[in-house]
Structure 1
Amino acid sequence: MSTPRSVRIAQGLWQKIEYEYRLLLGFVVAIGLAVTFGALAGEMMEGDFRAFDRNFLLALRHSDDLATPIGPQFIETAMVDITALGSETILTLVTLIALGFLVLRKRYRQTLLVAAAVGGGAMISGILKSLFSRARPDVVPHLVPVSSGSFPSGHAMNSAIIFLTLAVLIARSYEDARTRSFIVGLAALATLTIGFSRLYLGVHWPTDVAAGWLVGLAWALLMGMIAITLQKRRKIEQPVDDTTESEEKL
């Protein structure tokens, strides 16, 4: 039995309302994240978070030896390795791998969108980094070498921009919710771990890392909304059902 025309119209109208609602909600959240970053930057410049930043870093070190972080030695070694994941070299390599993956899947327009999103995020990161000249933490010894300004954290910001943006856009290639959740969840875990490693190693204040996360999340969310809109208008490749695709290959 075919679905009545009135029911189809109602379903189509509901889908449109739901789509518009999701876009509006995403836009509001992105604006909220940007406003929060601005407020955090203002409070940071006025020195309101100085005590919190200081106490947080001190809590991660032994009080009788500030050069030694809490926990066993292997954690420090792991943090040094993890923080390298947020370096420009690794992030560039990850981006190239993701672009190559999309090209192999013949999703050429989505490849261009990802490249533009990552490039735009890198530009924003550079601009924000140059606007502030906050000094690096001086309450604990640095466990890895650093040279640039402290606010916002480049590792936290760039890893959030790259990993979350790539995850959100690549996740748009799939319809399966579990696949999407896994991709985005993995990127979020990597972003959070990299940010924490900067604190554990004593090279950033907590507010530096929080600011980096806010910018990266806002940018990834914005890029996700753009991808949804372009797919809705069929300007880029549509999501595929990876379970169906696997069954067809078998």
Structure 2
Amino acid sequence: MNALKQLNLKALFAGALVFAAWAYATFSGFLEGFDRWGLMLFRKETDGNSLPIGPEGTPDIVMAVTHMGDTITLIVVSLALVGWILSKHSKTLAIRCAAAITGVFLISPIFKFLFDRDRPDIVEQLAHASSKSFPSGHALRSAGIYLILYVVLSGFLSVRGKQVLFTITSTVIVLTSISRVYLGVHWPTDIVASWIIALTWLYFCKKLLTLRTP
């Protein structure tokens, strides 16, 4: 019961409203121009919009970046985080952290099933993607996991350490998310929706993750 009281229901409700408004704007076609603009921002205006911007090796670099949001990568990060917490003899925090992380992994396929949005078809897709488009699993999971990592570890760091960790995690989240649009496998609105969901989940669970009960 004490754990349930720590859940931020107001954040969940507010996030749900924001997400509902964004989803409505997306699927009503109101943001279609934004989606097209965001995708074409990373394409040259020649060769049928199939050539990405940047030097020849840029797509390979972006592919390396996008792997920071892969399921396997994030599972390794998650296990390392939970293992580190356990090594500090904080079993309660480890369990709660594992529960919050599990939620992140479960949310994405649920929303993909509910919205059933097709991947972009106006540019060439430079990476393999078989699931539905809305929201972006890479963006949602990377934002959720890396933000959970920041919230948990920041409680053990100095002010300077918090600043450095926040800079690193936020940079990884943004680059991973943008890489999905660059590769042509997600609409920009998919990315924003993923961020809304991840932030809502974080604030929903935040008090649980900052509790230090051994």
TM-score scaled by structure 2?
Answer: 0.88
Distance 1:73 1:104 in 2: 45
Cα pair 2:42 2:52 within 8 Å, conserved: yes
Cα pair 1:165 1:221 within 8 Å, conserved: no
Deviation at 1:85, TM superposition (A): 1.2
Query: Aligned pair in 2 of structure 1 residues 108, 184: CA closer, same or farther (>3 Å)?
Result: farther
Deviation at 1:185, TM superposition (A): 2.8
The aligned counterpart of 2:135 is: 152
Deviation at 1:177, TM superposition (A): 1.9
Unaligned runs of 5+ in 1: 1-22, 238-250
The aligned counterpart of 2:164 is: 182
Corresponding letter in the other structure for 2:40: L
1:170 aligns to 2:153 (yes or no): yes
The aligned counterpart of 2:62 is: 79
Deviation at 1:196, TM superposition (A): 0.2
- Aligned identity (percent) is 33
Cα pair 1:142 1:201 within 8 Å, conserved: yes
1:99 aligns to 2:97 (yes or no): no
* SS of aligned partner of 2:64: helix
Deviation at 1:27, TM superposition (A): 6.8
Residue pairs, 1:104-123, within 5 angstroms? 104-123=87-106
Distance 1:97 1:146 in 2: 27
Query: Aligned pair in 2 of structure 1 residues 84, 140: CA closer, same or farther (>3 Å)?
Result: same
* SS of aligned partner of 2:89: coil
Residue pairs, 1:20-169, within 5 angstroms? 31-65=13-47, 66-169=49-152
The aligned counterpart of 1:245 is: none
The aligned counterpart of 1:242 is: none
* SS of aligned partner of 1:204: coil
Cα pair 1:165 1:223 within 8 Å, conserved: no
TM-score scaled by structure 1?
Answer: 0.76
Deviation at 1:31, TM superposition (A): 4.3
Number of residue pairs matched? 207
With a CA cutoff of 8 Å and minimum separation of 6, indicate the structure with the bigger relative contact order.
Answer: 2
Corresponding letter in the other structure for 1:184: F
The aligned counterpart of 1:216 is: 198
Cα pair 2:81 2:149 within 8 Å, conserved: yes
Deviation at 1:126, TM superposition (A): 2.5
Alpha-carbon displacement from aligned partner over 1:203-237 (angstroms, at most 9, x marks no partner): 10000001001111121222223334x44xxxx24
CA RMSD of superposed structures (Å): 2.0
* SS of aligned partner of 1:152: coil
The aligned counterpart of 1:204 is: 186
Unaligned runs of 5+ in 2: 1-5
